[in-house]
Amino acid sequence: MLNHTCVMCDEGLLIKKTVIDNVDFKGQVLKVPNTHLECNLCGCIELDNEYMKVNNRALNIEKKKALDLFTGSEIKEIREGLRLSQTEASAIFGGGKVAFSKYENDDVIQSKSMNTLIGAANRIPDLLPYLVSQSSLSTSPKFQGDYEDVYLEEDFNPLVECKNRPSIFVVEASQEFDSGTNGYTELQCDDAA
Protein backbone atom coordinates (compact mmCIF):
# COMPACT_ATOMS: atom_id res chain seq x y z
CA MET A 1 0.00 0.00 0.00
CA LEU A 2 2.97 2.33 0.49
CA ASN A 3 3.59 4.74 -2.38
CA HIS A 4 0.26 3.83 -3.95
CA THR A 5 -0.71 6.70 -6.25
CA CYS A 6 -4.12 8.34 -5.93
CA VAL A 7 -6.44 7.37 -8.79
CA MET A 8 -8.36 10.67 -8.56
CA CYS A 9 -5.52 13.21 -8.98
CA ASP A 10 -2.95 10.74 -10.30
CA GLU A 11 -0.24 12.64 -8.39
CA GLY A 12 -0.74 12.37 -4.64
CA LEU A 13 0.24 9.40 -2.52
CA LEU A 14 -2.33 7.38 -0.58
CA ILE A 15 -1.43 7.30 3.10
CA LYS A 16 -3.01 4.95 5.64
CA LYS A 17 -4.97 6.92 8.19
CA THR A 18 -7.09 5.93 11.18
CA VAL A 19 -9.68 8.34 12.59
CA ILE A 20 -12.22 7.83 15.37
CA ASP A 21 -15.81 8.03 14.13
CA ASN A 22 -18.78 8.79 16.37
CA VAL A 23 -21.45 6.23 15.55
CA ASP A 24 -25.01 6.52 16.89
CA PHE A 25 -26.19 3.13 18.09
CA LYS A 26 -29.33 2.49 20.13
CA GLY A 27 -29.16 5.82 21.91
CA GLN A 28 -25.41 5.61 22.55
CA VAL A 29 -22.52 7.19 20.73
CA LEU A 30 -19.85 4.62 19.94
CA LYS A 31 -16.25 5.67 19.30
CA VAL A 32 -15.18 3.48 16.42
CA PRO A 33 -11.78 3.52 14.69
CA ASN A 34 -12.05 3.92 10.93
CA THR A 35 -9.05 3.09 8.79
CA HIS A 36 -8.73 4.19 5.17
CA LEU A 37 -6.28 5.52 2.61
CA GLU A 38 -6.17 9.26 2.15
CA CYS A 39 -4.47 11.17 -0.66
CA ASN A 40 -1.87 13.58 0.70
CA LEU A 41 -2.55 15.96 -2.18
CA CYS A 42 -6.28 16.07 -3.02
CA GLY A 43 -7.58 14.55 0.23
CA CYS A 44 -9.59 11.91 -1.60
CA ILE A 45 -10.39 8.84 0.52
CA GLU A 46 -10.04 5.32 -0.81
CA LEU A 47 -11.48 2.26 0.91
CA ASP A 48 -10.63 -1.22 -0.32
CA ASN A 49 -12.27 -4.46 0.76
CA GLU A 50 -9.60 -5.15 3.35
CA TYR A 51 -10.14 -1.82 5.13
CA MET A 52 -13.91 -2.23 4.94
CA LYS A 53 -13.55 -5.58 6.69
CA VAL A 54 -11.28 -4.11 9.36
CA ASN A 55 -13.68 -1.20 9.94
CA ASN A 56 -16.71 -3.47 10.11
CA ARG A 57 -14.95 -5.62 12.73
CA ALA A 58 -14.03 -2.54 14.78
CA LEU A 59 -17.67 -1.41 14.65
CA ASN A 60 -18.94 -4.84 15.71
CA ILE A 61 -16.57 -4.90 18.69
CA GLU A 62 -18.01 -1.59 19.96
CA LYS A 63 -21.58 -2.77 19.31
CA LYS A 64 -20.92 -5.98 21.26
CA LYS A 65 -19.61 -3.94 24.19
CA ALA A 66 -22.65 -1.63 24.03
CA LEU A 67 -24.99 -4.65 23.98
CA ASP A 68 -23.09 -6.29 26.88
CA LEU A 69 -22.11 -9.25 24.68
CA PHE A 70 -18.78 -11.05 24.57
CA THR A 71 -16.30 -9.63 22.08
CA GLY A 72 -14.61 -11.97 19.62
CA SER A 73 -11.46 -12.24 21.72
CA GLU A 74 -13.51 -13.04 24.83
CA ILE A 75 -15.37 -15.82 22.99
CA LYS A 76 -12.04 -17.21 21.80
CA GLU A 77 -10.74 -17.23 25.37
CA ILE A 78 -13.82 -19.09 26.62
CA ARG A 79 -13.72 -21.59 23.75
CA GLU A 80 -10.05 -22.35 24.31
CA GLY A 81 -10.70 -22.70 28.04
CA LEU A 82 -13.30 -25.35 27.21
CA ARG A 83 -10.71 -27.12 24.98
CA LEU A 84 -12.87 -26.82 21.88
CA SER A 85 -11.92 -26.13 18.30
CA GLN A 86 -14.00 -23.55 16.43
CA THR A 87 -15.66 -26.35 14.47
CA GLU A 88 -16.50 -28.28 17.64
CA ALA A 89 -17.88 -25.17 19.33
CA SER A 90 -20.11 -24.48 16.31
CA ALA A 91 -21.39 -28.08 16.38
CA ILE A 92 -22.13 -27.86 20.12
CA PHE A 93 -23.54 -24.34 20.45
CA GLY A 94 -25.08 -23.97 16.98
CA GLY A 95 -25.10 -20.98 14.67
CA GLY A 96 -23.81 -22.78 11.55
CA LYS A 97 -20.53 -24.46 10.63
CA VAL A 98 -18.32 -21.37 10.72
CA ALA A 99 -20.21 -19.49 13.42
CA PHE A 100 -17.33 -19.33 15.88
CA SER A 101 -14.86 -18.16 13.27
CA LYS A 102 -17.26 -15.29 12.51
CA TYR A 103 -17.94 -14.49 16.17
CA GLU A 104 -14.24 -14.52 17.09
CA ASN A 105 -13.23 -12.36 14.13
CA ASP A 106 -16.06 -9.93 15.01
CA ASP A 107 -17.50 -10.40 11.53
CA VAL A 108 -20.84 -11.32 13.12
CA ILE A 109 -22.56 -10.26 16.36
CA GLN A 110 -23.87 -13.31 18.20
CA SER A 111 -27.45 -13.33 19.44
CA LYS A 112 -28.20 -12.63 23.09
CA SER A 113 -29.32 -16.25 23.57
CA MET A 114 -26.11 -17.59 22.00
CA ASN A 115 -24.14 -15.25 24.23
CA THR A 116 -25.99 -16.53 27.31
CA LEU A 117 -25.34 -20.15 26.34
CA ILE A 118 -21.62 -19.55 25.83
CA GLY A 119 -21.42 -17.70 29.15
CA ALA A 120 -23.32 -20.48 30.93
CA ALA A 121 -20.99 -23.17 29.54
CA ASN A 122 -18.09 -21.12 30.82
CA ARG A 123 -19.53 -20.75 34.33
CA ILE A 124 -21.30 -24.06 34.91
CA PRO A 125 -18.82 -26.93 34.66
CA ASP A 126 -21.24 -29.76 33.92
CA LEU A 127 -23.19 -27.90 31.23
CA LEU A 128 -20.72 -28.63 28.45
CA PRO A 129 -20.95 -32.44 28.72
CA TYR A 130 -24.73 -32.10 28.49
CA LEU A 131 -24.53 -29.84 25.44
CA VAL A 132 -22.08 -32.28 23.83
CA SER A 133 -24.48 -35.16 24.49
CA GLN A 134 -27.20 -33.26 22.62
CA SER A 135 -24.96 -32.45 19.65
CA SER A 136 -23.53 -34.26 16.64
CA LEU A 137 -20.34 -34.77 18.68
CA SER A 138 -22.04 -37.03 21.23
CA THR A 139 -20.18 -40.11 19.92
CA SER A 140 -16.85 -38.37 19.27
CA PRO A 141 -14.01 -40.15 21.15
CA LYS A 142 -12.67 -36.82 22.42
CA PHE A 143 -15.76 -36.30 24.56
CA GLN A 144 -16.03 -39.79 26.00
CA GLY A 145 -15.41 -40.15 29.71
CA ASP A 146 -12.34 -38.26 30.70
CA TYR A 147 -12.85 -35.07 28.69
CA GLU A 148 -14.33 -33.39 31.74
CA ASP A 149 -11.18 -34.15 33.74
CA VAL A 150 -9.06 -32.44 31.13
CA TYR A 151 -10.74 -29.07 31.27
CA LEU A 152 -11.75 -29.12 34.91
CA GLU A 153 -8.20 -29.72 36.10
CA GLU A 154 -6.76 -26.70 34.38
CA ASP A 155 -9.55 -24.16 34.33
CA PHE A 156 -11.84 -24.86 37.22
CA ASN A 157 -10.88 -25.11 40.84
CA PRO A 158 -13.99 -26.19 42.78
CA LEU A 159 -12.54 -25.13 46.11
CA VAL A 160 -11.76 -21.61 44.98
CA GLU A 161 -15.20 -21.32 43.37
CA CYS A 162 -16.63 -22.62 46.62
CA LYS A 163 -15.12 -19.93 48.77
CA ASN A 164 -16.51 -17.25 46.52
CA ARG A 165 -19.97 -18.76 46.47
CA PRO A 166 -20.24 -20.72 49.72
CA SER A 167 -23.86 -21.79 49.45
CA ILE A 168 -23.65 -23.72 46.20
CA PHE A 169 -22.91 -27.33 45.44
CA VAL A 170 -19.89 -27.97 43.29
CA VAL A 171 -19.21 -30.84 40.98
CA GLU A 172 -16.01 -32.70 40.51
CA ALA A 173 -15.05 -35.11 37.77
CA SER A 174 -15.12 -38.66 39.09
CA GLN A 175 -12.42 -41.24 38.30
CA GLU A 176 -14.82 -43.62 36.62
CA PHE A 177 -17.05 -42.24 33.90
CA ASP A 178 -20.66 -42.83 34.85
CA SER A 179 -23.07 -42.20 31.99
CA GLY A 180 -25.91 -41.73 34.48
CA THR A 181 -24.32 -38.63 35.97
CA ASN A 182 -22.27 -37.55 32.97
CA GLY A 183 -19.14 -38.44 34.89
CA TYR A 184 -19.71 -36.11 37.80
CA THR A 185 -20.17 -36.71 41.48
CA GLU A 186 -21.81 -33.95 43.44
CA LEU A 187 -19.82 -32.76 46.41
CA GLN A 188 -20.72 -30.20 49.00
CA CYS A 189 -18.23 -27.49 49.87
CA ASP A 190 -16.51 -27.78 53.21
CA ASP A 191 -17.34 -24.16 53.95
CA ALA A 192 -20.94 -24.36 52.75
CA ALA A 193 -22.49 -24.98 56.16
Residues contributing to the site for Zn ion (CB under 5 A) = 6, 8-9, 12, 39, 41-42, 44
Provide, rounded to whole angstroms, the least separation between the CB of residue 55 and Zn ion.
Answer: 21
Rounded to whole angstroms, what are the CA distances from 96 to 21, 71, 128, 131, 155? 32, 18, 18, 16, 27
Of the two residues 18 and 40, which places its CB atom closer to Zn ion in the complex? 40
Of the two residues 13 and 66, which places its CB atom closer to Zn ion in the complex? 13
Of the two residues 38 and 106, which places its CB atom closer to Zn ion in the complex? 38
CA distance 91 to 137: 7
Cβ-in-10-Å burial (0-12, 13-18, 19+) of 134 comes to: exposed
CA distance 162 to 189: 6
Bridge partner residues of 14 (DSSP): 4, 39
Of the two residues 41 and 187, which places its CB atom closer to Zn ion in the complex? 41
Provide, rounded to whole angstroms, the least separation between the CB of residue 21 and Zn ion.
Answer: 22
Provide, rounded to whole angstroms, the least separation between the CB of residue 4 and Zn ion.
Answer: 11
Does residue 60 contact residue 54 with C-beta atoms inside 8 Å? no
Provide, rounded to whole angstroms, the least separation between the CB of residue 45 and Zn ion.
Answer: 10
Of the two residues 8 and 66, which places its CB atom closer to Zn ion in the complex? 8
Q: Give kind and range of the element (H or E) at residue 114.
A: helix 112-123
Provide, rounded to whole angstroms, the least separation between the CB of residue 16 and Zn ion.
Answer: 15
